[in-house]
């Protein structure tokens, strides 16, 4: 049992971030009923600037940077993140301490009158803050108008309800965790829309020298989910990591084999380079290697041209 009596957990202030943090806190307190848990809410750069397009941010990790600063300063012991928000390279002295069992990694559509993407009127306004989702929508429906949308999940859904948008594309995991599954009009299969690397996974970040903290949260780590997201993030890193282009990836177990699919698209959906790779994954290093191999394969197919789009 851990000798730690109190732990300070850092998180963003959005409702979704708070819900995800409560999942972590509940798991910790179920395992250690006497553990005192303090939640520290930190406002990140992405939270402060709610108007600028995501692609305009020069630095990586706009939703994690301030939390990492709190970790390094010792003001919090762990940070809870949506894993897809984390850069592929972590700062020195920080480590990915745990990856919780992954929720659905897929994307979903919320629309007025519960219309499918194929059923939207020509010229319909579709909102997304993701270049990857933008490319997918335009690939399927080049006749709709895809606009940048910022704000938390509630804000995005309200803009559909108020008629500012006919539809928005959002994470299915976010909808499920927020209890809004009934509002989903359509879930896009990975065969049509590969998700962002790490989408659907909750990550716990900690200082790499905090052995007691790492031991405390270690039981939360789900090896299968970790291998999946490590492969996806390694694929992204092999392509350049912080590139401002639409990159999708999904790793899954297929019986005794491990499969990873990845793609990179032009932001307007006009071009797409995709690939997949299968192999045995028995440890994190295997997952990392297969992700890198797929990234190198796509680069050999000409992905560099799309990286500089």
- Section 121-141 average pLDDT: 96
pTM value is: 0.93
Evaluate if residue 169 carries a pLDDT over 90.
Answer: yes
pLDDT at position 56 = 46
Question: Quick one: pLDDT band at residue 150, thresholds 50, 70, 90?
Answer: confident
266/241 Cα distance (integer angstroms):
16
56/308 Cα distance (integer angstroms):
15
Evaluate if residue 57 carries a pLDDT over 50.
Answer: no
Per-residue pLDDT tens over the stretch 73-117: 999 999 999 999 999 999 999 999 999 999 999 999 999 999 999
Give me the CATH topology for the region 223-309.
Answer: Double Stranded RNA Binding Domain (3.30.160)
Evaluate if residue 291 carries a pLDDT over 50.
Answer: yes
Per-residue pLDDT tens over the stretch 179-201: 999 999 999 999 999 999 999 99
pLDDT at position 11 = 97
Options 3.40.640.10, 3.30.1370.160, 3.40.50.620, 3.40.190.10; which CATH number does 107-188 get?
Answer: 3.40.190.10
pLDDT at position 51 = 53
Evaluate if residue 14 carries a pLDDT over 60.
Answer: yes
Greater model confidence, 51 or 265: 265
Q: Match 């390094």 to its residue by tokens.
A: 72
Per-residue pLDDT tens over the stretch 260-271: 999 999 989 999
pLDDT at position 125 = 98
Q: Do domains 1-100+201-221 and 107-188 have the same CATH topology?
A: yes
Query: Minimal CA–CA distance to 121: which of 157, 164, 167, 158?
Result: 167
pLDDT at position 2 = 61
Architecture, CATH, for domain 1-100+201-221: 3-Layer(aba) Sandwich (3.40)
- With residues binned 3-state (H G I as helix, E B as strand, rest as coil), the percentages for the chain, rounded to 5, are 40, 25, 35
pLDDT at position 304 = 85
Pairing of strands 257-265, 247-254: antiparallel
- Section 271-279 average pLDDT: 96
pLDDT at position 254 = 83
- Contact, 123 vs 144, CB < 8 A? yes
pLDDT at position 216 = 96
Question: Quick one: pLDDT band at residue 123, thresholds 50, 70, 90?
Answer: very high
Per-residue pLDDT tens over the stretch 209-221: 999 999 999 999 9
Domain ranges in the chain? 1-100+201-221, 107-188, 223-309
Residues with catalytic roles: 85
């Amino acid at each position: 049992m851990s000798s730690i009596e109190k732990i300070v957990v850092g998180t963003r202030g959005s409702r979704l971030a708070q819900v995800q943090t409560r999942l972590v806190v509940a798991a910790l307190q179920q395992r250690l009923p006497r553990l005192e848990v303090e939640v520290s809410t930190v406002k990140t750069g992405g939270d402060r600037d709610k108007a600028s397009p995501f692609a305009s941010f020069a630095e990586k990790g706009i939703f994690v940077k301030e939390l990492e600063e709190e970790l390094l300063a010792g003001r919090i012991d762990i940070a809870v993140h949506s894993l897809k928000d984390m850069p592929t390279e972590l700062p020195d002295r920080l480590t990915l301490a745990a990856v919780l069992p992954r929720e659905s990694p897929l994307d979903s559509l919320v629309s007025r009158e519960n219309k499918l993407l194929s059923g939207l009127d020509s010229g319909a306004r579709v909102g997304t803050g993701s270049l990857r989702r933008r490319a997918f929508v335009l690939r399927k429906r080049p006749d709709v108008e895809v606009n940048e949308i910022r704000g938390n999940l509630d804000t995005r859904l309200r803009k559909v309800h108020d008629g500012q948008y006919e539809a928005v594309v959002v994470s299915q995991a976010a909808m499920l965790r927020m209890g809004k599954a009934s509002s989903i009009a359509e879930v896009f299969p990975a065969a049509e829309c590969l998700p962002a690397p790490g989408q659907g996974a909750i990550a716990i970040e900690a200082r790499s020298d905090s052995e007691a903290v790492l031991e405390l949260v270690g039981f939360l780590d789900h090896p299968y989910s970790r291998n999946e997201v490590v492969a996806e993030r390694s694929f992204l890193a092999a392509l350049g990591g912080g590139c401002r282009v639409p990159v999708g990836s999904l790793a899954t177990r297929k019986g005794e084999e491990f499969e990873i699919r990845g793609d990179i698209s032009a932001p307007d959906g006009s071009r797409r380079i995709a690939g997949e790779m299968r192999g045995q994954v028995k440890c994190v290093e295997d997952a990392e290697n297969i992700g890198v191999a797929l990234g190198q394969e796509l680069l050999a197919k000409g992905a560099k041209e799309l990286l500089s789009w």
